[in-house]
A = this chain, B = another copy of it.
Amino acid sequence: MCEANAYVIRDGKEELVMEAVDTVEPDNGDLRIVNIFGDQKVLHARIKSLELVNHKIILEEKRVIPGSP
């Protein structure tokens, strides 16, 4: 299988948020992550980078700017 693990950068460190990710897609300003088992998470984040041979998806959380949509 060719899924990857999703990490979010927090305080400069990679924190694992989901293993065996299949799809990642925008969801009303957020990001919906679904793994091969059908588990879902929605994060206020964007996809920063990919290292597919290393099975890594790196996400970064969006900053919340008051008054922005």
Chain A residues near B (Cβ < 8 Å): 1-4, 21-26, 36, 46-53, 55, 57
Contacts and interface: CB of A to CB of B under 8 A. Distances in A.
Chain A binding surface SS class: strand
Contact of A53 (B2, B50, B52, B57): B2
B53 A36 contact: yes
A44 to B, nearest CB: 16
Given A2-B4, A55-B2, A24 B46 contact: no
Given A2-B4, A46-B46, A22 B53 contact: yes
A46 B47 CA distance: 8
A46 B55 CA distance: 19
